[in-house]
Chain A
Amino acid sequence: MGPTDRAQRLKIDTRLAIFENINALQRQRKAAIQARDAASVDAIQASIDTLHDQLDDLSFMSLEALEDSDELRQTIAELRLAADALEDEADNIKTVADALAKAARIIDQTVQIIEKLRQFVPFPM
């Protein structure tokens, strides 16, 4: 598997992990709507919107023409672990309170993965 393939795989894994978290947050947002808790609905919605932005960001991140290197391989391996951890976070969101408490951490992890990936995007020609 070449560096571009590895990076593309990571991009897909990260997207799927973000979706897991969006879905978990959505379930709690639905619960908050049923409870007529408008403040929680809006707070969770703001987190969902941020994750949607991150997804769109990832869509337009061109990872083509990456040079293979030990550093890149190592970073991709680390980021894949981070993507797995991000997916695990989704399982921990079981209540509206969890959603409110954990959303910021999930966003922070997502931003870190994307920022790190961005460092490998070559200059556009």
Chain B
Amino acid sequence: MSVKVRSVPRVWRERKIKYRLIGGKCPNCGKSFYPYRDNCPYCGFKGAKEVELPREGKVITYTVIRAPPADFTQYAPYPIALVELKDGTRVIAQLTDVNIEDIRTGMSVEAVFRKYREQGEDGIIEYGMKFRPLLKS
């Protein structure tokens, strides 16, 4: 069986959060998180505020995917990192515009709008934020 998780409405539902890196900030405990939802994942307070997260951060740790899931097979190998944004929020994202051998823990990166995958050659295209080394250091 082929395992292709493709949904058009879901891409539409999630677009604002993914296109603009929208997270949540909890007025109760002060923590920020990605993606946005109204329940704080830390203290459970219902009433987190939508925030446009900072677009710069650093690589906490990274890996290179060499055995990719379906719909990503043509892009492998590609790097995935845990990125900590300037406000402390952490996200998991692909790195781009970088040679694999040049990736370092701690390197400064910035968010860029890129294509993540296509729902097949004739399906819709899913976009989101990846991170690249700073254009200007």
Q: Are A and B associated in one complex? A: no
